[in-house]
Amino acid sequence: MIRKNLMFAYASRTGTRRNLSALRAAGWGLMVSARGVHRTEGFDRYCIDNGAWTSFTQGQQFDEAAFLKVYELLAANSDFVVLPDIVAGGHGSLEFSLAWRQRLPFVCPQLLAVQDGMTSDEVASLIGPRLGIFVGGTSQWKEQTMRNWGQLARARDAYCHVGRVNSARRIALCAAAAVDSFDGSSVSRFAVTLQKLDNALRQPDMLIDV
């Protein structure tokens, strides 16, 4: 598949000034997590993650208060917000996310986190310009289904974003799926990885067969 449009990249927020400066210079955006510090660090473009992944990895419950706080503070000017979800929660995650969608005032585009077990058929009618797709789930499932989610988003005129993209290989998979953007934490933690990943992002008309 030939890439015709450049994806946009977001990096997890970091407090390291050197890394933030490098990200700004490269033109990346910032992903602000509900479970982190609620600052945009002066980035022109940023998005909001609900913090469910951090809670999951730490064996904790979803932090509703933290999410509501960051939503109130920053959502109005963000590129999008990922609706609260249940990591690896399948259909239960879908119901949880849709309940939050009804609860939140609409101030910016919202993304539905798709998880292992979900299919494009069951969410297709929900997806559109106001509700896009955040490709979550386990690593294997994410890679196996990414193209399907990208196709659904294009068919429904919706935005598609992929989470946890920290390698040139996975950036290539995102490009092959023709998604709009991705995020990762590698460039936030290790500035030396930025050049490699940014080069993978910016290769024009890259021929991919993955």
Summarised one tens digit per residue, pLDDT across range 107-117 is 999 999 999 99
With a CB cutoff of 8 Å and minimum separation 6, the contacts of 114 are 123, 133, 134, 135, 136, 137, 145, 149
Question: Residue 11: beta bridge partners?
Answer: 30, 184
* Residue 5 confidence (pLDDT): 57
Contact 8, 210 (CB under 8 A): no
- Provide the residue type at 178 as one letter: A
User: Residue range 153-179: average pLDDT?
Assistant: 96
Q: What's the confidence (pLDDT) of residue 140?
A: 94
CA distance 173 to 200: 11
| Tens-place pLDDT, residues 72-101 | 999 999 999 999 999 888 889 999 999 999
Q: Angle at the Cα of 117 (from 71 to 174), degrees rounded to 5? A: 65
pLDDT band at 191 (very low <50, low <70, confident <90, very high): confident
133's CB contacts (< 8 A; 6+ apart) are 111, 112, 114, 123, 127, 149, 152, 153, 158, 159, 160, 161
pLDDT for the residue 3:
36
- Kindly give the residue spans of alpha helices, DSSP state H, lying in the chain: 17-26, 52-57, 64-74, 90-103, 120-123, 139-155, 168-176, 186-189, 194-202
Q: What pTM, to 2 d.p., does this model score?
A: 0.92
Question: 80 near 49, Cβ under 8 Å?
Answer: no
Name the amino acid, one letter, at 105: P
Span 118-128, pLDDT tens digits:
999 999 999 99
d(CA 57, CA 87): 9
Phi/psi of residue 73, each to 5°? -75, -40
Give the helix, strand, coil percentages of the chain, each rounded to 5: 45, 15, 40
Nearest to 81 by CA among 72, 92, 93, 94: 72
Looking at residue 189, its pLDDT comes to: 85
Q: What is the average pLDDT score of the chain?
A: 92
- The model's confidence at residue 167, banded by pLDDT at 50, 70 and 90, is very high
Mean pLDDT for 52-79 is: 96
**In angstroms, rounded to a whole number, what is the distance separating the alpha carbons of residues 60 and 10?**
25
Q: Which domains does the chain have, with CATH numbers?
A: 9-201 (3.20.20.105)
Q: What is the pLDDT of residue 106?
A: 96
pLDDT at residue number 44: 95
Q: How would residue 6 be classed by pLDDT, with cut points 50, 70 and 90?
A: confident
Q: Give me the pLDDT at residue 159, please.
A: 98
Lowest mean pLDDT among 14-23, 161-170, 184-193, 196-205: 196-205
